[in-house]
Structure 1
């Protein structure tokens, strides 16, 4: 059996943000075993799982992505929505739009150093809409 929950995260600044607790707050009681599939309904933000303990990891992700896929790249054609828009689309495609996490003993079965990241690639992306599908 499956159930779906649609919710929004608050607006975050450009960068990488650990949102595990915010997501858990929306899911309600989890089954004993199963899977949670999280999907972000946007083309300029992404979801991933990574380090949740050292905040310098978040800063390094932001620095690397900004250097790797720069704004104002001279060959971009899609520029009507600002200098952060086309880079945001590319970054979101690289990171991905979904994560799937096993459920064990009514909890997300993340590793001890893992957290769910919202990867916000716009300076003013607004509230991001997510859909969680819980399968038991």
Structure 2
């Protein structure tokens, strides 16, 4: 059994989806695991992870619009605003999505579908660099 771990630093220029599939693919390749499970974990409470469509950018725009409607910035709705008006909506959006992904690895490659990519979903307005822990275990 072999294990590998790496911290990936994903830069989000603003709120929205940032694809980092290539960084994860490089990690999996370097780890030389043929069959196993990859876990990705976002170490933040105002950003999340998604496996999502990577061919049509309108999907990403629609997701961002939907979450903006679901958890809008509105100071009259929330008590928590320590870091500004986008603070609590960011926490709500993270709670509705996920901070961890598990992706099978087969023949040394992630088993993502044809149009799937791995995304950081940044929920804050200002630029952020997020720490994503990648852990791969297998043979």
Place the TM-score, normalised by the shorter chain, in its bin: over 0.9
**Partner secondary structure for residue 127 of structure 1:** strand
Unaligned runs of 5+ in 2: none
Deviates more, 1:56-65 or 1:27-36: 27-36
- SS of corresponding position for 1:4: strand
Regions of 4+ moved over 2 Å: 22-30
Matches within 5 A, 1:46-125: 46-125=48-127
* Gaps in structure 1 of 5+ consecutive residues: none
* Post-superposition offset of 1:73: 4.8
Compute the TM-score of the two structures, normalised by the length of structure 2. 0.91
CA RMSD across the alignment: 1.4
Count of residue correspondences: 136
Q: State the TM-score, normalizing by the size of structure 1.
A: 0.93
1:77-103 superposed Cα distances (whole Å, 9 cap, x missing partner): 001211111000010111110101000
**CA distance, structure 2, for counterparts of residue 30 and residue 53 of structure 1:** 28
CA shift for structure 1 position 3 = 2.2
